[in-house]
Structure 1
């Protein structure tokens, strides 16, 4: 640290200069996050000094969080569900598994062996650190040809140590939606905790279903669903950090309990103590401003752009690994890593699966427009040509 500080304008100039290294959103096709809605930015700034970890001071901000949770509860089929704004999907999934473990301990009078959780091959990679932290053992079920959990195979993994199932409503890697309805039935039959990670698909599926897209239910309308992760900072158009976790029964959330040193300070129900109240303000503002119809239209636009991307890929001779369910396209491409690396040198950011190295992943969200698609297809063709790969057709 300098002994004598710099003038404000010099500091801001340095920040502007360093941020010029950031890739502009118009060249990003790998992110499920996007440029936040302008109202989210304004609302977040209005709560920049708030801390949801101290609701004795920030009473109104806490009320706003409660309202945001209720609004998202209606999205999940249960306005009265319990929930909290958290830092993102990882913390939400951690809290859900923490509750599952405590619940299993209570119900069974203690655990007789290492507790196990059944997941699909495509479960988000963050669960591994969660399992490490909580002492949980994953049992991994294979996926079907559409890269969705094989429920029959998952059922065969259930044993006396199984405490929970995790289904994913929109895998980050492929955009596949596990058969949550079948998992709900399995959870009821075997008395298991079912957590649904809808960080990717939670702000897509309800609106896409209204538009006629054949997507399954994943929410609390299914009686076996115990908890759900939702990420407003993805397709909810809110700025980072804004995740959320929801529990069917408020009694489940009460299993997350940490008292502070001080009288009259409420019990904390999240992993983080200090939490930015601006996230609650931003989430509430966007939900109230856009409403259901606004999110339907945003979803319609994303699917229209997705259709345009698929048409352009098809016209140029590229093939998909599988039909997309959400706004994620997986191109079956030889030498996909080399293509990705060359495109990144040209400041185009895409993804390639480490496990399936021929899978070039393209994500459509609010900042991906038709002109962005056109520019990207030209760049992709250029990369293929420069690498001497099979040339594609013409439009």
Structure 2
């Protein structure tokens, strides 16, 4: 830290210089997050001073958080449930697994080796979570459609099982597990079914309204006990804005830690200090757009995705799987090198460490058909460049 501070103008200029090195959204094709809605940005700025860790001071902010939770529960078919806003999918999934473990303990079902049944494509946040909570994953291979097979899930449940995790929109492929088959298959097994809908939670409800053939994944499915949903992804809210939602009205309180101070409520989230701006941003966007607004955005996202797929196929590319959501995975030799070259040219895409020789392209609100049409010739140039490199080896 400097002895004497800099003039505000110098600080602004220095920050502007660094921010100028960030990749502009119109060159980003790998991110499930996007440029937040302008109203959300405006309202988050107005609430930049708020802290949901001290609700004796920020009373109105807390009321808005409760309104957001109610709106999200309503969206997911369970207005009588409970939940909290959190930092994102990782924290939400962590709380869900802790509640599942402690619920098993309360029912006398917690053994010395608690297990969680997951798919082979489950999000990597669960690797962190299982290590922290002492849970053992029971990994079920996905089927040919890259989905978690319901019959195999039921077969893997045993005396140590405390939870099953289904995914409503995998981060690598955008694949939606058949939660509407998994839930009924678990009836009578007395385990916690958690749905990680961090990616698909703000896509699937609106896509189904548009007639898209996608599995139902929400609390209307028998057996679903908790759901992760991320407003800061397709919900267009400022980062960080996640949510963990529960079936029961009291379930969110199963994760509770008291404070040192009189009249300060218990904490039901992992974080103590929490930005109220995230709640304000989320509330502003939900109220402003409503179902009609989100449905219109979802329609556009799918139109752009279909344009991308059509252009890729016209160029002779093969997809790794038929896209269910707005993630397109293309089979491609030397995908990592192509991705690196594209990044050096200013375009950001993804390649998977686990599923090599594929290029992953994500469509969200900032991705347009014009942007796709600008990108695809660059992709072909990168492929040709890498092919030349390989030929010269």
Classify the TM-score, shorter chain.
Answer: over 0.9
Partner of 2:381: 382
Matching residue of 2:154: 155
State the Cα distance separating 1:389 from its structure 2 match.
6.7
Q: How does 1:311-390 map to 2 (within 5 A)?
A: 311-388=310-387
SS in 2 for 1:320: coil
Tell me the TM-score normalised to structure 1 length.
0.97
Deviation of 1:189 (Å): 2.6
Q: How many angstroms does 1:318 deviate by? A: 1.1
Q: Which runs of 5+ in 2 are unaligned?
A: none
Distance 1:85 1:228 in 2: 12
Cα distance between partner residues in 2 of 1:264 and 1:183: 43
Is 2:288 aligned against 1:289? yes
Deviations 1:215-262 (A, max 9, x none): 011001012000000000000001100000001112221111111000
- The answer to whether 1:81 aligns with 2:81 is yes
In the TM superposition, 1:165-180 aligns within 5 A as 165-180=164-179
Look up the match of 1:393: none
Instruction: For 2:81 and 2:7, locate their aligned partners in 1 and report how far apart those are by CA, in whole Å.
Output: 49
Report if aligned partners of 2:342, 2:348 keep a CA contact under 8 Å in 1. Answer: yes
Residue 187 of structure 1 contacts residue 193 of structure 1 at CA under 8 Å; is this kept in 2?
no
Shift in Å, 1:102: 0.4
Could you tell me how far apart the structure 1 residues matched to 2:361 and 2:384 are? Answer: 20
Moved more, 178-187 or 123-132: 178-187
* Two-structure CA RMSD over aligned residues (Å): 1.1
Q: Is the Cα–Cα contact under 8 Å of residues 84 and 252 in structure 2 kept in the other structure? A: no
1:137: Cα distance to partner? 0.4
Residues of 2 paired with 1:285 and 1:73: CA distance?
16
Which residue does 2:239 correspond to in 1? 240
CA distance in 2, matches of 1:57, 1:37: 27
Q: Is the 8 A contact 2:319 2:330 kept in 1?
A: yes
3-state SS in 1 of match to 2:95: helix
* Deviation at residue 121 of structure 1 after TM alignment: 0.6
| Alignment correspondent of 2:7 | 7
> Structure 1 regions of 5+ residues with no counterpart?
391-395
SS of the counterpart of 1:293?
A: helix
Residue 92 of structure 2: aligned partner: 92
1:217 corresponding residue in structure 2: 216
Superimposed CA distance per residue, residues 42-90 of structure 1 (whole angstroms, 9 cap, x where no aligned partner) = 1111111111111111111010001111111111001221111100000
Q: Which residue of 2 aligns with 1:254?
A: 253
Are 1:241 and 1:279, in contact at CA under 8 Å, matched by a contact in 2? Answer: yes
Aligned residue number for residue 107 of structure 2:
107
TM-score by length of 2: 0.97
Q: Is 1:22–2:19 an aligned residue pair?
A: no
1:128-175 alpha-carbon deviations (Å, 9 max, x no partner): 110111000000001011111122222221110000000000000110
Deviations 1:171-190 (A, max 9, x none): 00110001101211123231
- Give the distance between the partners of 2:304 and 2:290, measured in 1 at CA: 22
Q: How does 1:271-310 map to 2 (within 5 A)?
A: 271-310=270-309
Give the corresponding residue for 1:58: 58
What count of residue pairs does the alignment treat as equivalent? Answer: 389
Q: Per-residue CA shift, 1:265-297, capped at 9, x if unaligned?
A: 111110101100011111000000000000000
Distance 2:32 2:22 in 1: 17
Q: CA deviation at 1:112?
A: 2.7
What do the CA deviations read for 1:4-41 (whole angstroms, capped 9, x no partner)? 01100101100010111111111110000000000000
1:378 deviates by: 1.1
- 3-state SS in 2 of match to 1:189: coil
Q: What's the counterpart of residue 121 of structure 2?
A: 122
In the TM superposition, residue 113 of structure 1 has moved relative to its aligned partner by: 2.1
Counterpart Cα distance in 2 of 1:182 and 1:192: 15
Q: In the aligned structure 1, how far is the partner of 2:246 from the partner of 2:298?
A: 26
Distance 2:278 2:96 in 1: 20
